Amino acid sequence: TSPSAPKPPLPKAELHLHIEGTLEPGLVFALAERNGISLPYATEDALRRAYSFTDLQSFLDLYYALMDVLRTEDDFADLANAYLARAREQGVRHAEIFFDPQAHTARGVPMGTVIRGLARALDGAQETYGISTRLIMCFLRDESAASALETFEAARPYLDRITAVGLDSAEVGHPPSKFAEVYALAREAGLKCVAHAGEEGPAAYVWEALDVLGVDRIDHGVRCMDDERLVARLVADQVPLTVCPLSNVRLRVIDDLADHPLPAMLDAGLLITVNSDDPAYFGGYADDNFTAVREALGLDEEALRRLARNSFRAAFLDEETRATYV
């Protein structure tokens, strides 16, 4: 290789990735056409111009609206295959993928259609893309606790396909404790547990996710830095945080990437991973987030390698498989 050949991306695991957030404008238009749906945007560029967000809710409004093009098993398989192809280019070797079943069942798309479609792509992922995969089923926290329980029961026939449950959507006003019952059921069923907490919501929601839901990882968690005791707890227990730098900037959780608390979080001894959240909307996939923090925060090679190593440490892998990655 010539001295100027670009370095291949670091091998990494992606642990915070909403599959619906990988829906690129090109696929929105292709699926709308295939399903006979008319879109309120004339062109892909016109759609892209709508990707300007003021907070989490302004993003969620577009995210849920565009999902309407996802109707059939093929649609979900195509979505996941498109993600996996891009992830491979970004050095992703293992992906733990969120999906939001309620956003589909509420539109009349059956649970089985969603899971079978995603599973079809994931089943071939090791062979086709060299990526091992897990599925994480998220509950929408701005829906009721009863709806989460119904969703869990609807997913029971498919639990062998699901590794963990998660909690996402509009955070403020919807504390983790609202979902104590469904998390207890998930744990009884042998599933791992994660939850978005401390993205827009307060550090108190991170405490609840740990102490009431008993989560194995915190998604985002950047607001933990407001609470020294919480940081000490997260460090002592080495609870992984799946941080999403480009997402934080686009959703105005952080004003500027140069002000991101990531370096302080690493210095504090937190087990930090870097992830892409909703890459079609936030301007970058997994390695793009690594590049962005390297450039904006001046992280050196050692720090980047630590982040990549952390991603495998924090993954839901058996120890034998983990040893093949780290």
Binding site for ligand ADE (CB under 6 A): 18, 21, 56, 63, 168-169, 196, 199, 247, 277-278
Q: Is 248 helix (H, G, I), strand (E, B) or coil?
A: helix
Helices then strands, counting H and E runs in the chain, come out as 17, 8
Residues 268 to 297: which contact Zn ion by CB under 5 A? 277
- Whichever of 63 and 312 has its CB closer to ligand ADE, that residue is 63
- Whichever of 281 and 316 has its CB closer to ligand ADE, that residue is 281
Q: Is 318 annotated as a binding residue?
A: no
- Whichever of 178 and 220 has its CB closer to Zn ion, that residue is 220
Q: Is 227 helix (H, G, I), strand (E, B) or coil?
A: coil
Q: Is 18 annotated as a binding residue?
A: yes
* Binding status of residue 143 toward Zn ion by CB under 5 A: no
Structure tokens given for 269: 């001894």
User: What DSSP character marks residue 2?
Assistant: -
In the annotation, is 208 catalytic?
A: no
User: What DSSP character marks residue 36?
Assistant: T
Name the closest residue to Zn ion (Cβ). 277
Name the closest residue to ligand ADE (Cβ). 168
The minimum distance between CB 261 and ligand ADE, in angstroms, equals: 16
Q: Is 174 annotated as a binding residue?
A: no
Residue 77 contact partner, candidates Zn ion, ligand ADE, none, CB within 5 to 8 A by sort of partner: none
| Residue 95 to residues 131, 183, 286, Cα–Cα distance (Å) | 7, 22, 10
Residue 169 contact partner, candidates ligand ADE, Zn ion, none, CB within 5 to 8 A by sort of partner: ligand ADE
Q: Is 58 helix (H, G, I), strand (E, B) or coil?
A: helix
What is the spatial distance between Cα 235 and Cα 229, in angstroms, rounded to a whole number?
10
Q: Is 278 annotated as a binding residue?
A: yes
| Residue 115 near residue 161, CB atoms below 8 Å | yes
Cβ atoms within 10 A of the Cβ of 109, count? 21
What is the spatial distance between Cα 31 and Cα 27, in angstroms, rounded to a whole number?
6
- In the annotated binding site for substrate, the residues are 278
Please list the active-site residues: 199
- In the annotated binding site for Zn(2+), the residues are 16, 18, 196, 277
Q: Which residues bind Zn ion (CB under 5 A)?
A: 277
- In the annotated binding site, the residues are 16, 18, 196, 277-278
